[in-house]
Structure 1
Amino acid sequence: MYRKSIAGLVLLLIFSLPVVVHAAQKGSGNVDADIQGPNLASVNAAVALAGSNDLVFGKNADRSVPIASITKVMTALVVLESLAPLDEWLVFQKRHTPAAANAYSRIRIGSQMRRADVLRIALMSSENFAAYTLARSHPGGFDAFIEAMNAKAKSLGMTGTRFVDPTGLSAENLSTAGDLVRLVNAASKHPEIREYSTTGYFIGQFRKPGYSLSFGNTNALVHRESWGVGLSKTGYLSEAGRCLVMVSNMNGRQVVTVLLDSLGTRSPMGDAGRIKRWLDSGAKGQVAEAARQYAQQKNAAYNSVAHSTRAALD
């Protein structure tokens, strides 16, 4: 009976008063997760009802941090809003600038693929050469594509966000968990992004020369019907940790989950499960000691950088 009463209270607060919960967190930079919500391995996080930018839970949700391949959600949004034809064949050209990190790809330089499929493998399989090619093939060119990414972020009110490349290989691509809720909600309006990002498996067809490659989704949760994943993107860089943004079914509601900077490969998925259980029952859950220590170290590093920045400005 006590468990059910707690669950009812949590759902009342979350589904009826999201603005109030968010207002208590906005601008704080740090939210006490032990009091406000579930225990998470992710250093930065945000949770909102799909379609709303008001957070029902946040953890360091206004801290700008590297976001790795979560970047590709904005890349997809810019591609679709450019209205470039999705059936156009794009050429995978050799990079005109060096990649900021390892950019190995199985795709052959000079081969071609339709823009729709290039976008699909960039989202579902986080194919970096695909994301680069989408930007390189932008009607206004590569630099104009980056400008469009930042202009779109500004128009969405993503004040803690900036982009310098379309793949997420650069640690200079920064955003906040709260900003990424805005991005996910905007991206969710496009059926192509919802479909492509949640494709489980895909065999890509190339021409000149003709060959095929198999691709798998980087988020294991898209294969589980109980999650009802409607949009998904994972990311990883050493500077960004493990990241995940997702729209999924949690207790009969479509929920946006943003998880940034986790230690382990499966930690974001574990956090998603903890959030789902918290929404259902109020249970805060537990995270491994290694994850807690990692979060303490990263928080200390973030705070040190912030302190140094403030000191330099004073």
Structure 2
Amino acid sequence: MKKMKFFKALILTLLITISTSVTSVANAQNNIGQIQGIIAESAIVMDMDTGEVIASKNADKQRPVASTIKLLTSLIFAENTSKSEDISFTEDSLKTTQTALNNFKKINVGDKISSNDLMKAVMIFSANDAAYLMADSVAGNTKDFVKMMNDKAKSLGLENTHVVNPCGLEKDALNPQSTEVNLSSAYDIAIIASEAYKNEWIRDIISEKYKKTSVNLSGSPVLIETRNKILGQDGNIGGKTGNEIQAGRCFVGFFERDGRKLVTVALKSEYGADDTNVFNDTKKIADYGYDAKKQVFKKAGEKVGTVDLEYKTFGFFGPKKSIEAPIVASNDIMYYKNDINDKNAQVEYDNKDKSAWKLANKKVDLTFSLPNYKSKIPGKIDLSVFDLIKDNIGVYATTIVGTILSLGVIAYSIKFINRNKRYKRRNKNIYKRR
């Protein structure tokens, strides 16, 4: 009796263990590409060299993004300004007092700041009055600059970005009655960040070189220090912070390890007691990106799409017809599995040559595309000449039968004509003998 109870308990334990293991494996497979264990409600990690999304978490969700929008502000400023300019403070720029240069000392309309110091103020200290000054210096006013920001976002193919001010504040000093805030998504911010990082000026300012620096205000140096608490750690080579009520704590990080550059975005994290939560999130996101391995999207020989081909029934002549032909991959197609890539992955044959006879069983170049990424891959049109013949067997049979009948009629006609000629000659000869 005791032995029976022991064996029952052992079997039950084994079943529970096996069930738990299977569930764990299934959950692990389902969570591939989904960033786990972070506070941030939206996140992404992207390869800056290839543009590939490696992993994500609600990365397409539109939400407030606080001062991370200053990456777009600074990019447009850098594209329209030289480093050597002196820029005069405007009335509108000095209306903002939240995280502002004018909190350090009294600044008057017309006081000057160098464009390089202005870039430092925005990207290192995240000064909001400096962001408005960037807008005024480039476009003459904030409204026109905001239009430039939205136009730039559209030119980058970003669908979730809607800009209302150049600084990211949720209470706009120029329009205090407005309830609109800057909106974007982790994916869109990653694209903006990647574009900003390509700019040498921005890349230099956010580097460790300017971890502690100063800006000159009316002849007096004002010390500023980066708000990026992980600069120089674990491969972090720069970043941009953000913090607002609706947006929560946000951070964009740039990383380089072993020559490979990644950009991370964490949105709607928490400030926490010592303001480390968003940076801890970022480290996890970056580690996930560097550790991730590509998965098989389509196996070699697997159908990846179809193409409509055209042909003439008899090669160079005959009725024009069309046929839908399968396209198969010649090699395994690899990708980072995540929600964004799964929704958008496409394999296309975009060559203008659509001749079925010519392409039957031929190797072709295909384009594998993901958001912000394209690559050429080898493939094959899975269609044989026999398939084309089989598709038109009725036409060919009718043609052959018709040809045979026609030849028979012609042969019979020739035979009839020849026999008629012989008959006439014979009659003619009989007549002559008479």
Contact 1:251 1:280 in 2 (8 A): no
Q: What residue is the counterpart of 2:307 in the other structure?
A: none
CA distance in 2, matches of 1:156, 1:279: 23
AA aligned to 1:92 is F
**SS in structure 2 opposite 1:41?**
coil
CA distance in 2, matches of 1:56, 1:271: 16
AA aligned to 1:135 is A
AA aligned to 2:215 is G
Q: What residue is the counterpart of 2:87 in the other structure?
A: 90
CA distance in 1, matches of 2:158, 2:51: 11
Shift, 1:55, TM fit: 1.3
Q: What residue is the counterpart of 2:213 in the other structure?
A: 202
Task: State the TM-score, normalizing by the size of structure 1.
Answer: 0.72
Shift, 1:217, TM fit: 0.3
Shift, 1:167, TM fit: 0.7
CA distance in 1, matches of 2:41, 2:50: 22
**SS in structure 2 opposite 1:192?**
helix
CA distance in 1, matches of 2:269, 2:123: 20
Q: 1:274 aligns with which of 272, 277, 284?
A: 284
Shift, 1:232, TM fit: 1.1
Shift, 1:113, TM fit: 0.9
CA distance in 1, matches of 2:47, 2:268: 22
Contact 1:233 1:244 in 2 (8 A): yes
Q: 1:227 aligns with which of 219, 229, 235?
A: 235
**SS in structure 2 opposite 1:172?**
coil
Shift, 1:184, TM fit: 1.2
CA distance in 2, matches of 1:164, 1:211: 33
Deviation sequence 1:239-287 (CA, Å, 0-9, x none): 10110111112465211101001112211210122224434557xxxxx
Map of 1:120-159 to 2, 5 A cutoff? 120-159=120-159
The runs of at least 4 aligned residues of structure 1 exceeding 4 Å deviation read 32-35, 96-99, 279-282
Answering whether residue 188 of structure 2 is matched by residue 187 of structure 1, we say: no
**SS in structure 1 opposite 2:243?**
strand
Shift, 1:98, TM fit: 5.6
Map of 1:286-297 to 2, 5 A cutoff? none
Contact 1:107 1:129 in 2 (8 A): no
Answering whether residue 183 of structure 2 is matched by residue 174 of structure 1, we say: yes
| Structure with higher RCO (Cα < 8 A, 6+ apart) | 1
Larger CA deviation: 149-158 vs 105-114: 105-114
Q: What residue is the counterpart of 1:75 in the other structure?
A: 73
CA distance in 2, matches of 1:117, 1:43: 34
Contact 1:250 1:279 in 2 (8 A): no
Can you give the 5+ residue segments of structure 1 that lack an aligned partner in the other structure? 1-31, 283-314
**SS in structure 2 opposite 1:117?**
helix
Shift, 1:135, TM fit: 0.9
Normalized per residue, the structure richer in strand is 2
Shift, 1:143, TM fit: 1.9
CA distance in 2, matches of 1:260, 1:280: 20
AA aligned to 1:274 is K
Are residues 107 and 47 of structure 1, via their aligned partners in 2, closer, same or farther at CA, if it must alter by over 3 Å?
farther
CA distance in 2, matches of 1:47, 1:125: 24
Task: State the TM-score, normalizing by the size of structure 2.
Answer: 0.53
Shift, 1:125, TM fit: 1.1
CA distance in 1, matches of 2:49, 2:184: 19
The alignment's C-alpha RMSD in Å is 2.3
Identity %: 28
Are residues 33 and 117 of structure 1, via their aligned partners in 2, closer, same or farther at CA, if it must alter by over 3 Å?
farther
CA distance in 2, matches of 1:37, 1:74: 25
AA aligned to 1:88 is E
Are residues 240 and 46 of structure 1, via their aligned partners in 2, closer, same or farther at CA, if it must alter by over 3 Å?
same
Shift, 1:139, TM fit: 4.3
Shift, 1:118, TM fit: 0.4
**SS in structure 1 opposite 2:230?**
helix
Shift, 1:181, TM fit: 1.4
**SS in structure 1 opposite 2:126?**
coil
Are residues 139 and 263 of structure 1, via their aligned partners in 2, closer, same or farther at CA, if it must alter by over 3 Å?
closer
Deviation sequence 1:197-234 (CA, Å, 0-9, x none): 23201111122xx211000000011143x4241x3100
Are residues 96 and 200 of structure 1, via their aligned partners in 2, closer, same or farther at CA, if it must alter by over 3 Å?
closer
AA aligned to 2:164 is V
Contact 2:236 2:253 in 1 (8 A): no
CA distance in 1, matches of 2:106, 2:182: 27
Q: What residue is the counterpart of 1:102 in the other structure?
A: 98
Map of 1:3-42 to 2, 5 A cutoff? 36-42=34-40
Shift, 1:102, TM fit: 3.4
Larger CA deviation: 198-207 vs 60-69: 198-207
Q: What residue is the counterpart of 1:12 in the other structure?
A: none
Contact 2:44 2:55 in 1 (8 A): yes
Are residues 161 and 223 of structure 1, via their aligned partners in 2, closer, same or farther at CA, if it must alter by over 3 Å?
same
Q: What residue is the counterpart of 2:391 in the other structure?
A: none
CA distance in 2, matches of 1:263, 1:246: 16
Contact 2:193 2:252 in 1 (8 A): yes
CA distance in 1, matches of 2:192, 2:277: 22
CA distance in 2, matches of 1:182, 1:163: 15
Answering whether residue 63 of structure 2 is matched by residue 58 of structure 1, we say: no
